[in-house]
Amino acid sequence: MRKNILITGASSGLGEGMAREFAAKGCNLALCARRIEPMQTLKAELEAAHPGVKIFIRELDVCDYEKVFEVFRAFRDDLGSVDRVIVNAGMGKGASLGTGHFAANRQTAETNFIGALAQCEAALEIFRAQNSGHLVTVSSMSAVRGGARALNVYAASKAGLRNMTEGIRADMIGTPIKVSCILPGFILTPINSGLKKAPLRVDLKTGCKAMVKAIEKEPAEAKVPGWPWVAVGLAMKVLPLSVVAKMT
């Protein structure tokens, strides 16, 4: 069992939901996000519900790249070791290119890809020294095809993360270090609560249970929830772009 788990973007949404699921399984947690107050509340709640679980929290903007390394190393020292890192922090701001929203598109690209790169570097530095660990990146079903409007940059950044994760996995072949990429479908979170089109969306608890179940199997890649997103992913690869655009 991977006992000590580090989760980024843990102040809300998928990060908070996964923290709840892992705490219920008796895992120690290292949680970080830009907002410290929600994590303080979460820490107190989880420690009361699960007295045997150790929970550490730190404020972190994943675009503060030097601090990513500092925080990950500090969590390793807190816990003694880190068994699994879940690169979850992400952003969904943006709009169609050329419509005056470069700042938002750039912020999404930097957070979802360069910020994720920093997290993967910091995690693997620890895992290589330990000669063990499980790196998990949270991509998106949006990574399967290009997305219209607000998904222009979001989908591209998540596709880049998916591809980078595969490359890391290639590097780790033959080592004790495992690498997984999770592609969530539409799970109700603050990042997508305003979407008018969210077919097959599930509630946060259902989605996070499915994510944790998939993560613990340590697959190369998993689309979650498996039904219907495995089938949807296959369809997305072959449908005309005009049809895919209408789905987003």
The reply to whether 154 belongs to the active site is: yes
Provide the pairing of β-strand 28-33 with 133-138.
unpaired
Point out the catalytic residue in the list 154, 158, 165, 168.
154
Rounded Cα–Cα distance for residues 5 and 216 (Å): 11
DSSP string covering 184-233: E-SB--TTTTT-S--TT-B-HHHHHHHHHHHHHT--SEEEESHHHHHHHH
Cβ-based neighbour number of residue 151 at 10 Å: 22
Closest CA to 159 of 151, 171, 150, 149: 151
Handedness of CA 217, 219, 224, 225 (dihedral sign): negative
Cβ-based neighbour number of residue 77 at 10 Å: 11
214, 222 in Cβ contact below 8 A?
yes
End-to-end CA distance of the chain: 38
Rounded Cα–Cα distance for residues 73 and 56 (Å): 13
CA 57, chain centre distance (Å):
17
> Which position has the token pair 């816990």?
79
Positions marked active-site? 154
